[in-house]
Amino acid sequence: MNLTQEDWVAQFEAEENAVILDVRTADEFNEGFIANAINIDIHKGQGFIDAVEELDKDKKYYVYCRSGMRSAKACEIMNQLGFEYAYNLLGGILDWEGEVVEP
């Protein structure tokens, strides 16, 4: 499900069982990320699938990338793997108006 930043943040903040998932490359992640995000690179193919399958399917995942394209694909993959709640951030971190953590 695609959400605007406003809805994405509102739902995440109202949720006790939520995880922020950054599906960009490690290099992109190290340039700055949304607070508390975990990084699993979608470009790793089967490695991405293996890592995602280890996640708790009962949690809700708020997924983002650079522009929203890779995260939309990640949400589709997660849905196919049995994740009921995967929310894509429209516009990705490029359009993000919130705080960005710089490592």
* Alpha carbon distance 32, 92 (integer Å): 13
Maximal CA-CA distance, the chain: 32
Q: Determine whether 65 is an active site residue.
A: yes
The residue annotated as part of the active site, out of 42, 65, 74, 78, is 65
Tokens describing residue 49: 């699938």
* Alpha carbon distance 78, 81 (integer Å): 5
Query: Which residues are part of the catalytic machinery?
Result: 65
